Amino acid sequence: MADDLRFVSVSEDDIKSLLSNKLSDHTKRVVSGAVKMLTEYTVERNMSLSDLYKLPKCDLNDFLRHFYISIFECCTCNRALFV
């Protein structure tokens, strides 16, 4: 009857391992690339990522709006920048 159990027992180590590996390697690369791109954009505008935390919400919204549009324009004009 013990072999017919529907649920398996998991150890604390199994849980910790699952939680620490919950993001796939692909997701980690994508996030890392996005942060790098945002960092480069802020540097081109004589800012840093930490400066974004200090912006009022309205100004941050405008900043990100311009960032997203610039990414869209770069992607459609020159895909080689993102390879």
d(CA 74, CA 38): 13
What is the average per-residue pLDDT within 30-38? 92
Tell me if 28 is assigned to some domain. Answer: no
**Does residue 48 contact residue 42 with C-beta atoms inside 8 Å?**
yes
Tell me if 26 is assigned to some domain. Answer: no
Tell me if 73 is assigned to some domain. Answer: yes
**Does residue 51 contact residue 42 with C-beta atoms inside 8 Å?**
yes
Place of tokens 């919204």: 61
Q: What is the pLDDT of residues 6-31, one digit of tens each?
A: 888 899 998 888 877 777 778 888 88
Tell me if 74 is assigned to some domain. Answer: yes
Tell me if 68 is assigned to some domain. Answer: yes
How many other C-beta atoms lie within 10 A of the C-beta of residue 37? 16
What is the average per-residue pLDDT within 38-42? 95
**Whether the predicted model's global pTM rises above the 0.85 cut:** no
Phi-psi category of 74—alpha, beta or left, where left has phi over 0 and alpha has psi -120 to 50?
alpha
Question: How many independent structural domains does the chain possess?
Answer: 1
Tell me if 34 is assigned to some domain. Answer: no
Q: What is the pLDDT of residues 53-83, one digit of tens each?
A: 999 999 999 999 999 998 887 766 655 555 4
Which residue range forms the structural domain that includes residue 66? 47-83
Tell me if 67 is assigned to some domain. Answer: yes
Tell me if 54 is assigned to some domain. Answer: yes
d(CA 72, CA 45): 18
